[in-house]
């Protein structure tokens, strides 16, 4: 759903950039806490249906990006490493081992919405 914003910090809707991803779960090892509350207030838990959430510091909360054709919503923040453009951390509801299996890699990010 559009909110009327067509650009953000030099990026435009529909534009694609190269990105790098990692995966995380809600455990204390990944998040430093294990209460499942994201920076936006959204609640996550192990075993939930995949909400397609990501953490990043370089886009506003509520932004939607397509990562290799799958839409994800920015609902969380992370360490300084997530401040670089294109750097995202994908929430994995399958738990810590599933996050480790998800690994790291390169991806194509397309901007779908900027902010809520």
pLDDT digits (tens, 9 = 90+) for 9-53: 999 999 999 999 999 999 999 998 999 999 999 999 999 999 999
Euclidean distance between CA atoms 8 and 58, whole angstroms: 10
What's the rounded Cα separation, in Å, for the pair 38 and 47?
A: 16
Q: Per residue in 22-38, is it b (16+ CB within 10 Å) or e — as a string?
A: bbbbbeeebbeeeeeeb
Whether the pLDDT of residue 2 is over 90: the answer is no
pLDDT per residue as tens digits for the range 49-91: 999 999 999 999 999 999 999 999 999 999 889 999 999 999 9
Measure CA of the first residue to CA of the last residue in the chain; give whole Å: 9
Residue 1's pLDDT is 72
Record the pTM.
0.95
């Amino acid at each position: 759903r559009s909110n009327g914003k067509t650009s953000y910090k030099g990026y435009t809707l529909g534009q694609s950039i190269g990105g790098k991803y990692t995966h995380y779960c809600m455990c204390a090892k990944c998040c430093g806490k294990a209460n499942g509350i994201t920076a936006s207030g959204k609640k996550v838990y192990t075993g939930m249906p995949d909400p397609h959430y990501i953490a990043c510091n370089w886009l506003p909360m509520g932004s939607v990006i397509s990562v290799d054709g799958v839409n994800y919503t920015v609902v969380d923040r992370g360490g300084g490493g997530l401040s670089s453009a294109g750097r995202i951390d994908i929430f994995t509801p399958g738990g810590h081992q599933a996050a480790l299996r998800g690994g790291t890699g390169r991806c194509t990010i397309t901007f779908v919405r900027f902010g809520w």
